[in-house]
Amino acid sequence: MPQFELENFVPQLVWLTIFFAILYFGIVKLTLPRLGRVMQERESTVADDIATADRAKQEADRIAAEYEAAIAEAQGRSRAQIGEAKSAAARAVEQRLAALAAQLDEQQRAAEADLDVARRQGLDQIQAVAAEAASDIVERLIGSRPERDEATRAADSALAETV
């Protein structure tokens, strides 16, 4: 193998050094600055994208907070409206119940008045029957019929003691 012969070793070493120097300085001086610029551009692009994403996230968070606040406000308004509707319905029910109670009270007073009239008529009829019966009893016992006014007074006093 010719590369391992000593007489070819020194020239090969010289050429290796020359090519290494050319390649090294060619890469360092030409390629590395371009590569550095590309990396810096990529890094700034990534940083800008991250900043844009962060701003978009902050905007989305702000919008979400506004949305939540609007929902909470709408829920509060709806709760207030429901409360008002319940109160209005309760007032309407109370008014209707009051009207029905007044109507029932009126009906009760009318029924009590009718009952009092019927009671008085019944008592008058009982008084008349009692007076007639007392007159019949007195006539059978003593043989003479008492006057109508006396029999009525006697029946009244007897009925007043029992009532």
Tens digit of each residue's pLDDT (9 = 90 or more) over 27-83: 788 888 888 899 999 999 999 999 999 999 999 999 999 999 999 999 999 999 999
Return the structure tokens found at 81. 């409206």
pLDDT at 20 over 80: yes
Report the amino acid identity of residue 70: A
Pick 64 or 126 by higher pLDDT: 64
**Distance in angstroms (rounded) separating the CA atoms of residues 126 and 132:** 10
Return the structure tokens found at 38. 């590309």
Task: Kindly report which listed range (29-43, 61-75, 93-107, 126-140) carries the lowest average pLDDT score.
Answer: 126-140
Go through 8-24 and write b for each residue having 16 or more CB atoms within 10 A of its CB, e for each that does not: eeeeeeeeeeeeeeeee
**Distance in angstroms (rounded) separating the CA atoms of residues 130 and 123:** 10
At residue 163 the predicted structure's pLDDT band, cuts being 50, 70 and 90, is: low
Three-state DSSP class for residue 5? coil
Taking the chain, what is the end-to-end CA distance rounded to the nearest angstrom? 155
Go through 121-137 and write b for each residue having 16 or more CB atoms within 10 A of its CB, e for each that does not: eeeeeebeebbeebbee
pLDDT at 6 over 70: yes
143: left (phi over 0), alpha (psi -120 to 50) or beta: left
